[in-house]
Structure 1
Amino acid sequence: MVAVGYTLMTEQAGPKQLVDYAQRAENAGFDLAVMSDHYYPWLKSQGHSPYAWSVLGAVAHATSRMRLMTMVTCPTRRYHPAVVAQKAATLGLLSDGRFTLGLGAGENLNEHVVGAWPHVQQRHEMFEEALQIIRPLLDGETLTYSGDHYEVPEAYLWDRPETPVPLAVAVSGPSSVDLASEYADAMIATEPLANLVDSYDRAGGAGKPRYGQVAICYGPDEDECRKIAHDQFRWFGLGWKVNADLPAPASFEAATAYVREDDVAQNISCGPDTEAHVAAFKKYVDAGFTDVAIVQIGGDHQPRFLDWARDELLPRLREL
């Protein structure tokens, strides 16, 4: 049975709200809560961006059953990889082993706050070096590392779980699939592409978890949901090559100025129809994903969504 996750989206809610939503999600029956890790929201209308790791600590304390995960943290610019390893190990302890560290190559939107955003080739090199640092530290090794981008004279994690924190790596093509198969315990993707799952299996990931994420906008009024999705999620269709390089919410506003409400609604299920949302989720099930996290678009509508998910959506998804 596919595990059903809930997305704690830092771009659309404040820190106390996110902790409350995590508790509600656990009570509703979700198996997993994933959290975005941003410095900025994608669009100004989303309105939030608290520090994910502080919120995760509070969520770990406020919940007891749900697995937790970053989806995803970039360990190359805003954070040094040795510090990411320390944060992950601490979350592993606070959550009693429920935490998975989800990693990705990042976006200019969040990482330029500490300096220039590197070229894509350099970013990929930095990401692989970061994995070479994080993996052994989480495994309990004393690390001395000298690379083209990072120096770690000596590092050791004094507080870490007895069972190392699992790593998951975001994939979008052959090179990232290779990294996930070599360094990680799971893969992450934001599109229901069976070819990514197949590639990961062939590269050595067979039998390991495959995490996906699907955006929906549930509500009793389809027209209202379409407007919310357009207002807050119209950037989603730009594609990762564009999303990774735009520097600020204003850039995403400009890049999506001519995206229509109908364009967004073609790719995001909107409204009260439970079966439409089940169908959106099922695309990931059919593609071979083992864990799928739902993004409910609209920060103010999470309690309504979570009540509906408890009563109607989750029972249907358990049947898949």
Structure 2
Amino acid sequence: MVRIGYTMMTEQAGPRELVSHVVRAENAGFDFSVISDHSFPWLESQGHASYAWSVLGAAAQATSRIPLMTYVTCPTFRYHPAVVAQKAATMQILSQGRFRLGLGSGENLNEHIVGAGWPAAHVRLEMLEEAVGIIHSLFAGGYVSHHGAHFDVENARLWDLPDDPPPIGIAVSGDRSCEIAGRYGDLLIATEPKQELLTAFGAYGGAGKPRIGQVPVCYDPDRDAAVARAHDQFRWSLAGWKVNAELPGPAAFEQAAQHTRPDDVDAAVACGDDVDAFVAAVRPYAEAGFTEVALIQIGGEHQTPFLEWAETKLLPALRDL
């Protein structure tokens, strides 16, 4: 059975609302939760970008059962990997073992703010691999010094370590990232149901490890309203990550998506209140071999009706996958 998760989208709701949403998701019976870690929304119409790690700390105290996870944090530009290791270790303690650290090579949208430039994808992956190694070393305990191609660590130590370090997930989109995930990760993260990603992950050492996907949906009893909202806030997603990782801000996403029609979004995103359509959106991940799928409900002010509907209608149907 595929485990079904709930996404706290920091781009579309404020921090207090995000915490209340994940509390409701826990009560609705979602199996896990994830949170985006952004400094900008993709589009100005989304209107938010709170600090994910503060929200996670509050969520850890407001909930008692539901697992928490970054989806994903970039440990190479805005955050030094030694700082990410400290944050993750603290979250694992606060959540009493419910935290997983999802990592990725980042997006220009969020990482440009520190003025470090935006190198080519192969360099970003080199940085990610080195960063994950540093985080693993700090999770192991003791003092760590490291002088590598991209990062320096001088006599660092995590003074508050959980009994079990948080599992590390690596976001993948191609063979090189699958290699890093298979070698260093405890689980795979992907946003497309591509069987070849799972095959490569397994070949590089990830066989038998969890594989987590993510699916945007837009619940609304008024289907036309759902399509309009999905187009307004999520039309950027149709360009794909090879494009989206390079764009520097909401204005660029607006321009890139200017010719995306509501019908295009309707064809790509399950909209309305037809349970079968939502199940069909998740099914490709189950058939590809993903073990977990996190749902994104589009529209920050529309989370509560979605969660109520999911509890009574959607989750029972998804349990059959």
Answer whether TM exceeds 0.5 for this pair. Answer: yes
TM-score for both structures, normalised by structure 2: 0.98
Encode CA deviations 1:208-261: one digit per residue, 9 max, x unaligned: 000100011011011111000000000101111111111010110011111101
Name 1:225's counterpart in structure 2: 226
For the pair 1:40 / 2:72, whether they are aligned, the reply is no
Name 2:107's counterpart in structure 1: 107
Name 1:92's counterpart in structure 2: 92
Identity, in percent, stands at: 59
Structure 2 gap segments, 5+ residues each: none
Partner amino acid, structure 1, of 2:46: Q
Name 1:202's counterpart in structure 2: 203
Higher mean C-alpha displacement, 111-120 vs 50-59: 111-120
Name 1:125's counterpart in structure 2: 126
Q: CA RMSD in A?
A: 0.8
Encode CA deviations 1:33-84: one digit per residue, 9 max, x unaligned: 1000000000000000000000000001100101110000000000000000
- The separation in 1 between residues aligned to 2:46 and 2:183, in whole angstroms, is 36
Name 1:288's counterpart in structure 2: 289
Q: Would you say how many aligned residue pairs link Structure 1 and Structure 2?
A: 320
- The separation in 2 between residues aligned to 1:316 and 1:62, in whole angstroms, is 28
- The separation in 2 between residues aligned to 1:70 and 1:21, in whole angstroms, is 16
Matches within 5 A, 1:99-248: 99-115=99-115, 116-248=117-249
- The separation in 1 between residues aligned to 2:97 and 2:27, in whole angstroms, is 19
Name 1:8's counterpart in structure 2: 8
- For the residue of structure 2 that corresponds to 1:89, the secondary structure is helix
Partner amino acid, structure 1, of 2:306: F
Name 2:53's counterpart in structure 1: 53
Name 1:79's counterpart in structure 2: 79
- The separation in 2 between residues aligned to 1:141 and 1:223, in whole angstroms, is 57
- The separation in 2 between residues aligned to 1:2 and 1:258, in whole angstroms, is 35
Encode CA deviations 1:140-180: one digit per residue, 9 max, x unaligned: 24211110111101111111211111100001111000000
Encode CA deviations 1:256-311: one digit per residue, 9 max, x unaligned: 11110111111111111011001111111111001110000111100000000000
Name 2:305's counterpart in structure 1: 304
- The separation in 2 between residues aligned to 1:58 and 1:152, in whole angstroms, is 29
Partner amino acid, structure 2, of 1:207: G
- The separation in 1 between residues aligned to 2:149 and 2:197, in whole angstroms, is 29
TM-score for both structures, normalised by structure 1: 0.99
- The separation in 2 between residues aligned to 1:302 and 1:140, in whole angstroms, is 40
- The separation in 2 between residues aligned to 1:199 and 1:109, in whole angstroms, is 28
- The separation in 2 between residues aligned to 1:65 and 1:110, in whole angstroms, is 30
Higher mean C-alpha displacement, 186-195 vs 141-150: 141-150
- The separation in 2 between residues aligned to 1:72 and 1:122, in whole angstroms, is 18
Partner amino acid, structure 2, of 1:101: L
- Give, in angstroms, the shift of residue 195 of structure 1: 1.4
- The separation in 1 between residues aligned to 2:316 and 2:98, in whole angstroms, is 23
